[in-house]
Amino acid sequence: MIDCIPFFTNTLPNFMSILIRNGRVITASENAIADIFIEGETITAIGTRLEQTADYVIDASGKYIFPGGIDPHVHLDMPFMGTSSSDNYETGTRAALYGGTTMVIDFILQTQGKSLRHALEAWQGRSNGNAVGDYSFHMAVTDFNDQTKEEIRELIEQEGITSFKTFMAYKGALMIDDRQMIGLMQEVKKYGGLVTVHATNGDMIDYLIAKHRSEGKMAPLYHYLSQPEVTEAEASGRFAALAGYTEVNGYIVHMTCEGALNAIRDAAKRNHNVKAETCIQYLMLDASLYEQNFEGAKWVMSPPLREKKDQAALWGGINQGAIQVVATDHCPFKWEQKLMGKDDFSKIPNGHPAIEHRMELLFSEGVAKGKINLSKFVEVNSTNAAKIFGMYPQKGTIGIGSDADLVIFDPSEKHTISAQTHHMNVDYSAYEGVEVTGKVKTVLLRGKVVIDNNQCLAEKGNGKYIKRKTTAM
């Protein structure tokens, strides 16, 4: 038995069995002090005073043990707005592990006029052999036609890509119209898949961007003013209506505001099955950040940050179960890339970095400040994403037979977020100077210690592509 990891190693120790003793094991439904025994990649026993002998023992007294975090909304190495997001599969999934996120789901973007398979191969080329943490893909359908339609079944049944992303915005680039939307929904419905959406009214936003530019209003503030709440509320309601009509499972990504939340509450009254995700930034940050000069470009993302009243509504939506997931929409750009829009807000690459800090921020802002309880935290951080995206109970929980993806967490350690210490490939932090309560101490991915004492012990190639089943929620 080895009771500590040799300090000189920077590679992955390959223990056949691990025993984690005396941690407070917290899932979406359980909360108790227990031992966890892991053999290979899998949890094989949970109980008090387990008697199994193990190659390696971790004492987790005084710590929480959570299922590994799942961030189902990230953009790694993604060509977008004339540049590419600055974290690749290696840097992005490694940063995620530092923050307790053991699995991410990235978005493949179809090129209009080309096949879905063509896009899949491009994403495989960038991801294969490079990820440090586990990952999967959504397929963003930007051109639904008779050829694309033929590819849906194969992606679901052979590639384990069971969720299809649509954009109701980014007119002229990624946006599809309602005719394509309904065609896609009917096809995905046949095979039990899920249609997800960036729900904002693309025509209205296009009009407002053109109007502001023609008036010479070029600062980042006008990015925000070009996407008022109504653009999101309207599109969310429309999407829910189409999903209800076609009876497809629907999911709205990065919901930001009260109006959109009310639109899906209305749909739920008609028994339409539309799930929703918000992101950590919409719970913590607000639109006052756009009132500074170009500095506001750090938070230029779509949809934009909203008002304090929207934050309160989103926390309420989480507690009521109307919002099931907290993701990041991690889409980082270095400052030099943001400067592409120095003289014109519409050219600022949209997106911000957060993959590393979602879990600690959510714990600090949500649990430590009393807005959500521990079981809700686990649900929105991990379990619901695993269920919605067809990975449960392999991922998203701590149970016998589940992958040993575990986070050993100190609930009281405080630390401060900074670009000086983060691991994302971006030269600023959107949360610079924010003090958080709660710290990821040790992370296991499929039974291997990948993070310990602020050190990553895994290398690129360690991450595995996870084929997903259809939704279980």
> Which residues in this chain contact Zn ion in the complex, by CB under 5 A?
198, 329
Q: Does the protein bind ligand URP through residue 403 (CB under 6 A)?
A: no
Q: Torsions phi, psi of 111, nearest 5?
A: -85, 130
Cβ of residue 253: shortest distance to Zn ion, in angstroms? Answer: 6
Residue 383 interacting entry, from ligand URP, Zn ion, none, C-beta within 5 to 8 Å by type: none
Binding to ligand URP by CB under 6 A, coded x per residue (else -) over 259-278, reads --------------------
Rounded Cα distance, 39 and 471, in Å: 28
- Is residue 110 close enough to count as binding ligand URP by CB under 6 A? no
State the minimum distance, in angstroms, from the CB of residue 321 to Zn ion: 23
For residues 378 and 406, what is the distance between their CA atoms, to the nearest angstrom?
A: 12
- Closer residue to ligand URP, CB minimum distance, 63 or 254: 254
User: Residues 145-165, buried b or exposed e (16+ Cβ, 10 A)?
Assistant: eeebbebbeebbeebbbbbbb
Q: Name which of ligand URP, Zn ion, none residue 27 binds, using a CB cut-off of 5 to 8 Å depending on partner kind.
A: none
**Which of the listed partners (ligand URP, Zn ion, none) does 365 bind, with a CB threshold of 5 to 8 Å by partner kind?**
none
CB-count exposure of residue 313 (10 Å: 0-12, 13-18, 19+): buried
Say whether residue 330 binds ligand URP (CB under 6 A).
no
Q: Which two tokens stand for residue 326?
A: 């907290």
Q: Is 329 in the site for ligand URP (CB under 6 A)?
A: yes
Contacts to ligand URP from residues 64-93, by CB under 6 A: 75
165 binds ligand URP (CB under 6 A): no
Contact with ligand URP (CB under 6 A) among 318, 331, 406, 450: 331
> How many CB atoms are located within 10 Å of the residue 442 CB?
23
According to DSSP, the β-strands at 69-74 and 101-109 are: parallel
What 3 state SS string does 97-132 have?
A: HHCCEEEEEEEEECCCCCCHHHHHHHHHHHHCCCCC
Task: Give the separation between CA 303 and CA 351, rounded to whole angstroms.
Answer: 9
The correct pick among 350, 383, 397, 402 for binding ligand URP (CB under 6 A) is: 350
Among ligand URP, Zn ion, none, partner that 351 touches (CB below 5 to 8 angstroms by kind) = ligand URP
Token representation of residue 71 = 């961030």
Residue 45 vs 208, nearer CB to ligand URP: 208
Interacting partner of 301 out of Zn ion, ligand URP, none (Cβ under 5 to 8 A depending on kind): ligand URP
DSSP 286: -
* Chosen from Zn ion, ligand URP, none, partner binding at 142 (C-beta under 5 to 8 Å by type): none
Distance CA(281)–CA(429), nearest Å, equals 12
How far from 363 is each of 76, 178, 228, 368, CA to CA, in Å?
Answer: 24, 38, 29, 6
Q: How far is the CB of 200 from ligand URP (least distance, A)?
A: 9
Which structure tokens are listed for 37? 């025994």
Write the burial class of residue 53 (CB in 10 Å: 0-12 exposed, 13-18 middle, 19+ buried): exposed
Which residue of 351, 366, 390, 463 would you call a contact of ligand URP, by CB under 6 A? Answer: 351
Q: How far is the CB of 79 from ligand URP (least distance, A)?
A: 12
- According to the binding rule CB under 6 A, does residue 301 interact with ligand URP? yes
Distance CA 29, CA 34 (A): 14
Nearer to ligand URP among residue 25 and residue 205 (C-beta) = 205
Closer to ligand URP by Cβ: residue 328 or 383: 328
Could you tell me which of 429, 450, 454, 430 has the C-alpha nearest to residue 440? 454
What separation, in Å, do the N-terminal and C-terminal C-alpha atoms of the chain show?
Answer: 42
Q: Is 198 in the site for ligand URP (CB under 6 A)?
A: yes
Out of 302, 364, 384, 397, point to the residue binding ligand URP (CB under 6 A): 302
Could you list the residues that contact ligand URP (CB under 6 A)?
75, 198, 301-302, 329, 331, 350-351
